[in-house]
Amino acid sequence: MKATVLALALLAAGAAFAGSPAPGNESREARHMDDLATLLDLTDPQRVQVQSILEAEHAKMKQSFEQAKAAGTKPDWQQMKALHQQLEQETLQKLAPVLSASQLKKFQILSKQMHPRFGHGPGHAGAADPAPASQN
């Protein structure tokens, strides 16, 4: 369980920092990618491809926010959720030919546990197994 939580934290942080790094973040980003590579048991070629895919995902998300900011708008919750789900599906499609079936499954589990606020993780009302309502 601790390993899963750590892996999720690393995955999210790795994706968040995968874009243009701030000074001092290079070593942190490298550690996050190292940890993800270890957790998924990536080969060197897979590692390069996965890193590239995650960086592209991060860049798309950043670009979407910059476009909204330039237009003077701020995405609402539903827009952010839809964008996240769209990017997640695109990322999985790009990772499918790179990762084995078991690696992809691990990645999906880590991803879902990292983003419960988008309706597909533990503790969210939209989760597959929501807690039953109390009927007193």
Residue 21 lies in a domain: yes
Residue 38: pLDDT over 80: yes
Is residue 40 domain-resident? yes
| C-alpha distances out from residue 110 to 10, 11, 97, 106, Å | 9, 7, 18, 6
Residue 14 in domain:
yes
CB contact at 8 A, 16 and 61: no
Pair 25, 65: CB distance under 8 Å: no
Please give the helix or strand (H or E) that residue 111 lies within, else none. helix 101-114
Q: Is residue 126 part of a domain?
A: no
**Does position 74 have pLDDT exceeding 80, yes or no?**
no
Per the structure, the complete domain to which residue 44 belongs is given by 2-116
Model pTM?
Answer: 0.63
Q: What is the pLDDT at residue 35?
A: 82
Q: Is 94 a residue whose pLDDT tops 90? A: yes
> Count of alpha carbons within 13 Å of 57, Cβ hemisphere only?
28
Any domain includes 91: yes
Number of domains forming the structure of the chain: 1
